[in-house]
Amino acid sequence: MVYKIGDFSSLVNIPIRTLRYYDEIGLLKPEIVDRFTNYRYYTEDNVVEAQFITLLKEVGFTLQEIIDYKRFLNDFDNNDDGTNQFLLKKQEQISEEMERLQEQYDKITVLRKKFKGKVLTLMKEEK
């Protein structure tokens, strides 16, 4: 089945403007582009690809990371070990970010206890 960009947009829940941008940056290319009208047509393979891109975005991948991942897959013929390493690397980055955020959270908790009701007083005294 072939979908026009508007139908495809509704199907995969990605705005048309975003689909055009994805095409421009090479992230999600339509299967067919009419060379006379420049109309974009998408296929079932594009649906699966769009859903995968959406999933990767939902778990924190940047567009550039997704583009790099797709290049990797094309270069290594869907290498399962490479895929696992790619996902593991992102998982480690998320873990490090969680640790950093936990440290910030803990510092704020200490500040709240230490300055309970005093912050406004200190700010007023500075003026």
| Rounded-to-integer distance, Cα 23 and Cα 17, Å | 10
- Please give the pLDDT value at position 121: 60
Instruction: Give yes or no: residues 17 and 55 share one domain.
Output: yes
| Domain endpoint, select from 62, 93, 112 | 62
Instruction: Give yes or no: residues 1 and 58 share one domain.
Output: yes
Residue 125 lies in a domain: yes
Q: Domain residues for 114? A: 79-127
Instruction: Give yes or no: residues 44 and 92 share one domain.
Output: no
Partners of 42 in the beta sheet? Answer: 3
Instruction: Give yes or no: residues 57 and 99 share one domain.
Output: no
Instruction: Give yes or no: residues 92 and 127 share one domain.
Output: yes
pLDDT digit string, tens, across residues 81-115: 777 788 898 999 999 999 999 999 999 998 888 87
Evaluate if residue 78 carries a pLDDT over 60.
no
Instruction: Give yes or no: residues 6 and 37 share one domain.
Output: yes
- Please give the pLDDT value at position 117: 62
| Tally of structural domains, the chain | 2
* CB-CB neighbours of 104 under 10 Å: 10
Q: Which is more confidently placed, 84 or 42?
A: 42
